Amino acid sequence: MDAILEYFGRVETYNPLIVAIELLLIGLVVYWAVDFLEGTRGERLFRGVIILLLSGSMILKLLIVQFEFERLQYLYSSFLILVLIIAVAAFQPELRRMLIQIGQAGAFLSSHQNHLSQTIEEIVQAVVSLSTKSIGAIIVIEKQVALGEFIESGVRIDAQVKASLLETIFYPGSPLHDLAVVIRGQQIIAARVQLPLAEVGSTGGALGSRHRAAMGIARGSDAAAIVVSEETGIISIAQGGNFDRHLTIEQLRAKLTEIIAGSGKNKNNLVRLNGSAKEA
């Protein structure tokens, strides 16, 4: 017990600022690695290795301080070398992809814009397909104001935004097709989400519950809501006090670029990355 107290007493002598900076740098590296590996087979392996290393190091450190298990420390050091070798073999495809991206000019600067551009195109593709088939849908894009209270009423999805997934969710007869889908960043957070309805007539005409729900969430937060009419296939977007209807593909893409990426420089970068989008 005295050894453990002595260890923690020694930790207290460290410069708090240096410790905070080190922890911040370690956190940024881990976050970047997890974000880079997201959606690959190496994601869970990386999480497991991190948990194993952290928990093993902490437990072993306490055992060494308390009981002086020096041989156990030697074996653990050898084990870490073995883990490193296995990790290099397991992460070979991901490491190759990382090195390729590092070699590309501006790869890290454009990575975020590429993700946003892909998300926009996936939503556009899904909405246009649903509109062509006259399948009703409402897609809410969360911004600064969190929509947790509404998300709790739905079914958690936590999946990357994909056109095929959105179309599957809203396909008639699907258990999740009714009500709304909520998107946060590049993730589909939840489906079958109940939204507050705006008053009758507030949408500027005799429109249905989807349009009233879109206007209700748009007026109650800074979120934007895309609506596909089941009767006519018309595409609309509610944001703030505005309700834009009869949107074309180009108008929809431009609106989504403004909503998801904001205006100014980021918007121009995304328009160039889209390729098919035109600057005004």
**Which SS3 state, helix, strand or coil, does residue 273 take?**
helix
From the list 164, 153, 152, 157, the residue with the least C-alpha distance to 183 is: 157
So what's the pLDDT on residue 206? Answer: 63
Measured in whole angstroms, the distance separating CA 235 from the mean position of its chain's CA atoms is 25
So what's the pLDDT on residue 237? Answer: 95
- Which helix (H) or strand (E) segment is 179 a member of? none
Rounded to whole angstroms, how far apart are CA atoms 11 and 46? 28
Mean pLDDT, residues 3-17? 66
The predicted model scores a pTM of 0.59
So what's the pLDDT on residue 17? Answer: 83
Q: Quick one: tokens of 244?
A: 């834009």
Q: Is the pLDDT of residue 238 over 90?
A: yes
- Which helix (H) or strand (E) segment is 16 a member of? helix 16-37
Q: Quick one: tokens of 219?
A: 């007026």
> Angle at which helices 16-37 and 42-67 pack, to 10 degrees?
150
| Residue 123: CB atoms within 10 Å | 24
So what's the pLDDT on residue 279? Answer: 34
So what's the pLDDT on residue 120? Answer: 93
So what's the pLDDT on residue 121? Answer: 94
Rounded to whole angstroms, how far apart are CA atoms 210 and 194? 10
180-184 vs 137-142, strand pairing mode: parallel
Region of poorest pLDDT, from 28-37, 84-93, 105-114, 264-273: 264-273
Rounded to whole angstroms, how far apart are CA atoms 221 and 243? 14
Kindly tell me the burial class for residue 29, based on how many C-beta atoms sit within 10 Å of its own C-beta (0-12, 13-18, 19 or more): exposed
Domains (range + CATH), the chain: 2-101 (no CATH), 114-274 (3.40.1700.10)
Between residues 51 and 123, the one the model is more confident about: 123
155-160 vs 187-193, strand pairing mode: antiparallel
DSSP, res 145: S
> pLDDT tens digit string along 61-117?
666 556 666 666 666 667 667 767 776 666 666 666 666 655 554 544 455 567 788
Mean pLDDT, residues 165-183? 94
Percent of the chain residues topping a pLDDT of 90 = 37
Residue 187 C-beta-side C-alpha neighbours within 13 Å: 11
**Which SS3 state, helix, strand or coil, does residue 196 take?**
coil
> Exposure string (b/e) for 72-91, b if CB count within 10 Å is 16 or more?
eeeebeeeeeeeeeeeeebb
The one-letter code for the residue type at 18 is I
Q: Is the dihedral of CA 206, 207, 213, 214 positive or negative?
A: negative
